Amino acid sequence: MTVPELALVRFPGRPTPSPQARLVVLGPSLGTSVTSLWSGVVRRLEGDFDVLGWDLPGHGASAPTGEPFTMSELAQGVLAALDRDRPDAVSERPFYYAGNSIGGCVGQQLLLDAPDRVGAAVLLGTAARVGEPAGWAERARLVAAAGTPTQVVGSAQRWFAPGFIERDAVTTTGLLHDLQDADRFSYARACEALGDFDLRERLGGVRAPVLTVAGAHDAATPPGAVVALAEAVGGRAVVLDEAAHLLPAEAPQDVARLLAGHFIAHPADAEGARA
């Protein structure tokens, strides 16, 4: 296994941050690009933040891979991308992190594997274990053989709360196009990583302040699992009534408010630990 090389993404239209701005790193959901998933939040995010995203292998701006990787190696890939492309932004103080679904799994891994790098985190639509290994293995085999279009119908049902597709066809179409365009082998490797992911016995070691956010209609990571994650790390949980799995796309105003409130309330100290 190798650390995948990940692309960092700057969001268009974001005001130029001040030299004192805190870095916020955003992580995607499986099958999405970080731009399609998070742009609505970034446009609404108030505060002096320098915002970057990263893309999964074979998704968005990141190159595909056929090599297996673990969630820990994805987290290492995020840190390597920051150290390579933005060494000035991370050399002196921790960054803030927010991730949805697999992006939230990577966030948990960062909190445990690099506690000095992350000052505070918002983890959305994610859990210490997501789904069951057999289900991820089956999906990996199917997508590797037949491609990501096999996932469009099921993902549309899981990703969005009832009525959202009709209310916002532009957002949903962009996200489903991301899924169809994702490299099938990279997607399959991400499924395998999710199948192996289980941090339930380690979360007591998280030191940074954590906010978890659940969608009331999320069947992939039900609210109970998201609340349990918050309890395991000594954090706080919020449930959004009108959302399902892709919370940044479905509820950008609410998510932007929650991110800004959490990060402003928890200024990152030099060690990224709780005050």
Average pLDDT on 84-108 reads: 86
Q: Dihedrals φ, ψ of 209, to 5°?
A: -65, 130
- Per residue in 205-230, pLDDT tens? 999 999 999 999 999 999 999 999 99
Amino acid at 91: S
Average pLDDT on 83-101 reads: 82
Neighbouring residues of 14: CB distance < 8 A, sequence distance ≥ 6? 42, 43, 45, 51
Question: What pTM, to 2 d.p., does this model score?
Answer: 0.95
Q: Which of 86-90, 147-151, 247-251 has the lowest mean pLDDT?
A: 86-90
Q: How far apart are CA 66 and CA 44, in angstroms?
A: 36
Residue 275 has pLDDT above 80, yes or no: no
Average pLDDT on 101-111 reads: 98
Q: Dihedrals φ, ψ of 197, to 5°?
A: -80, 125
Q: What angle do CA 218, 224, 123 make, to 5 degrees?
A: 70
Q: How far apart are CA 135 and CA 265, in angstroms?
A: 39
